[in-house]
Amino acid sequence: MHDVSRVPHDLAPYFRGTWRMVACAFPDGVAEAEFWPLTIHLGEAMSLRQLAAFMSHLFRRDVSYHDSIVAMSHARPVPANLDDVRQRLAACGYADWLESEDYGNEPD
């Protein structure tokens, strides 16, 4: 499990809203099995570069731009737990997150 109870000190300010939403959705931490569904769902709204950067913080490992491309590829299999991840994020303000200035992309 990847602990999300504390925001990393080096997390970019524009990722803080994303972190809070994920922490709300996964209060006991994010399991490794949730990596791909979470990457896919967040990737529907974030740039590939920002997605890789955020997921690297969340999973505390190097997540490459290529991983982001694979997650968003139509050729990839759909994880069985994708709907569960979507529902968890929806319950924690996904729609509001999309409308906020704090939704995970660098400000222009």
pLDDT by residue (tens digit) across 7-46?
Answer: 889 999 889 999 999 999 999 999 989 999 999 999 989 9
Per-residue pLDDT, 71: 78
Burial of 17 (0-12, 13-18, 19+ CB in 10 A): middle
Provide the b/e sequence for 65-95 (b: ≥16 CB within 10 Å): eebbeebeeeeeeebeeeeebbebbeebbbe
CA 107 to chain centre: 18
Q: 56: pLDDT confidence band, cut at 50, 70 and 90?
A: very high
Q: Which helix (H) or strand (E) holds 56?
A: helix 48-59
Per-residue pLDDT, 63: 85
Per-residue pLDDT, 75: 64
State whether the Cα torsion 48-54-58-61 is positive or negative.
positive
Per-residue pLDDT, 70: 79
